[in-house]
Structure formats: C-alpha cells, structure tokens
Amino acid sequence: MTTTEISIKMILDRWHGSIKNCDTILNSISDEQLLKEIAPGKNRGIYLLGHLIAVHDDMLRLMDMGEKLYPELYEPFLNAADKTTDNLPTAATLRNYWAKQNEALQQKFDSLKTEQWFERHTAVSAEDFVKEPHRNKLNIVITRTSHLQYHTGQLALLK
Amino acid sequence: MTTTEISIKMILDRWHGSIKNCDTILNSISDEQLLKEIAPGKNRGIYLLGHLIAVHDDMLRLMDMGEKLYPELYEPFLNAADKTTDNLPTAATLRNYWAKQNEALQQKFDSLKTEQWFERHTAVSAEDFVKEPHRNKLNIVITRTSHLQYHTGQLALLK
C-alpha cells in the first residue's frame, strides 16, 4: 500500500465510522424523540437528520457522481431554518432515505480509483484547481465527515 | 505537490479549521455560560473544554511528540464524568491551556516531514503496524478532528 492509498483508506474509514456512529445513535432514539429539540430553543432531531441527508445528497453533485436522490429536501432542510416550514417528511421516511443514501454513497465511493479521488470537485474551476489541488473529491469526504460529526454530537443529546 | 502531500495538507487543514471553529464558539460565550449544561442533565461546557484539552494532550504521547502539558486534567476530564469531581480549574485557566496547547501542537505538526506522518503511533506494536499501516500519526489527527467536531457541535448550543 502506498502512502496515498493509506491516506484514502484512513479518510474513508473515518467517513464510514462516522456514519455508523450516527446510525447507532439514530437507532437508539424513537421517532417521537427525534421530534424533540436537542436543547431548549434549538433545532429538532428530525431537522438535523433531514439536514444531514440534504448535505450528503449534495456530495453526489460535488463529486460528479450523479443527481441528488432527494432534491426536495434542499428547501426544508438546507435553505430554511427548523420550525419554519410545514409538511416535513416523517421520521420514518427520513430514516429510510438515510439508509438508502448511505448504501448509494458507499457504492459510488467503492467504485473510485486512487487517482480519481484527487480529481477536482465540481465547485472549483479547472484554472483554480491548478493552484489549489486540494480542492478535490477526497476533500469533500473530509469536510462532510467533520460536518456529520458536529451534528452527531447534537443528535446524541436526544438519548 | 504529490497526492500524499495533498492528503496531509487536507487533513491538517481540517484539523486547524476545526480548532478555529471551536475557538470562535469559545470566544462567543462567557465563562458563566461555560458553566452551564449544554442541554438539561448533560455535560457542562467547562467539562467539554477540559475534556478536549485532555484528549489533545494525549495526542502528544500517541504521536511520540513529548510529554502531556496538563496531565492533571486526565482524572477530572477523561476518567471522571462531569459533576463528580470538585476543584476543577476555572474557565479562564482552561481557556489559557487551550490556547497554549494549540500553539504547541501546531509547532509539533509543522516540524513533521511527509514520511514521518506515516510512522506508527505509540499505541500500536511494530508487529501489528506491518499489517495495519493506517495506524499512523496522521490517523491520530483524523480521529481527533472527528472527536473535536462532535463536541464543538455541543458547545455551540451554549450560544
């Protein structure tokens, strides 16, 4: 294994570990608990779950891996704040989306070859990428793992 | 820049970004707010801050970079749960430790050469490391960045 391959493995291991950690917490709380605020006056669990799915859906676009699976989540869970929109999907629906999306992302990740991880992501121009080669697909995984952990720490408070 | 160097840069950028993010939150809350629970019945802010310093201190040992700066934090912030020990350091003291520690870690990180990041950390044996080369110093940074983000999401609730 080269140091580059080891680096990719470590970064993907941390992504999968973080997904699993969040999964464990989600499985330990009920749909009813998900409807509660993580702290008084703060976001509800269901909003955070929808928000994570919406953010991870956007990874597909950024990593040039196809269309979003659930584009309808952008408005209520990314553009709008919690408790400002009606007709949110149910907790059961979001749990189902979450599971399906994790499978889809894993499949896509598994199909990438070493050199493909270092290709530019779609939010950076070819020109800028020459000067900033770290703005690649692998970096999308790094930053979204961070984001996932941030909100997982909040979801854990519902237990 | 090689793909290995790019990987190291991305991982260290995410560490520094996470430290900065946590810093911004800490600077936006008062010592009084730090003494509050992040959610009813959960850990207090001051415990999380001490916990982060204790965990980051242990990185020095794991990465073979010298002794812990604040070994006295192990007992109250790692071994013991919140609200079970008396005589905790003040919030002002912990803020000072946090700032000094971040400088020290940055200096140590800056001094490491590319190949040194892929040396084994001190919690893995030379034998096991042959089969598991991902158990290296760089991986300590990856996993502790995750841990930092998890608790930063909680500290943010004090705002």
pLDDT digits (tens, 9 = 90+) for A51-109: 999 999 999 999 999 999 999 999 999 999 999 998 899 999 999 999 999 999 999 99
For A136, the 3-state DSSP assignment is strand
pLDDT digits (tens, 9 = 90+) for B13-34: 999 999 999 999 999 999 999 9
Can you give the pLDDT at residue A40?
Answer: 97
Count of A-B CB contacts under 8 Å? 99
Can you give the pLDDT at residue A65?
Answer: 95
Cβ pair B134:A10 closer than 8 A:
yes
Give residue A39's domain range.
Answer: 3-156
Can you give the pLDDT at residue B23?
Answer: 98
Cβ pair B7:A9 closer than 8 A:
no
Give bridge partners of residue A37 from the DSSP assignment: A44
Q: What is the total count of domains within chain B? A: 1
Question: Is the Cβ of A99 closer than 8 Å to some Cβ of chain B?
Answer: no
The answer to whether residues A14 and A63 touch, using CB atoms and an 8 Å cutoff, is: no
Can you give the pLDDT at residue B124?
Answer: 96
Mean residue pLDDT of chain A comes to 97
Question: Is the Cβ of A51 closer than 8 Å to some Cβ of chain B?
Answer: no
Q: Considering CB atoms only, which of B4, B143, B153 is closest to A4?
A: B4
3-state secondary structure chain B: CCHHHHHHHHHHHHHHHHHHHHHHHHHHCCHHHHCCECCCCCCEHHHHHHHHHHHHHHHHHHCCCCCCCCHHHHHHHHHCCCCCCCCCCCHHHHHHHHHHHHHHHHHHHHHCCHHHHHCECCCCCHHHHHHCCCCEHHHHHHHHHHHHHHHHHHHHHHC
Q: What is the CATH number of the domain that holds B15?
A: 1.20.120.450
Distance between B71 CA and the closest CA of chain A, angstroms: 25
The CA-atom distances, in angstroms, between A137 and each of A51, A59, A156, B32, B114 are 21, 9, 29, 42, 21
Cβ pair A136:B7 closer than 8 A:
no
Task: Using pLDDT thresholds of 50, 70 and 90, give the confidence band for residue B122.
Answer: very high
Q: Which residue of B has its CA nearest to A43?
A: B157
pLDDT digits (tens, 9 = 90+) for B127-136: 999 999 999 9
Task: Using pLDDT thresholds of 50, 70 and 90, give the confidence band for residue A38.
Answer: very high
Predicted ipTM of the assembly: 0.97
For A25, the 3-state DSSP assignment is helix
Question: Is the Cβ of A142 closer than 8 Å to some Cβ of chain B?
Answer: yes
Q: Considering CB atoms only, which of B11, B145, B154 is closest to A153?
A: B154
Selected for mutation to probe chain B from A1, A3, A137 (highest B CB count within 10 Å) is A3
Mean residue pLDDT of chain B comes to 97
* Cα Rg of chain A, angstroms: 17
Can you give the pLDDT at residue B93?
Answer: 98
Q: Considering CB atoms only, which of B8, B39, B139 is closest to A38?
A: B39
B86 vs B7, which has greater pLDDT? B7
> In the predicted model, what is the mean pLDDT of residues A20-37?
98
Cβ pair B38:A157 closer than 8 A:
yes
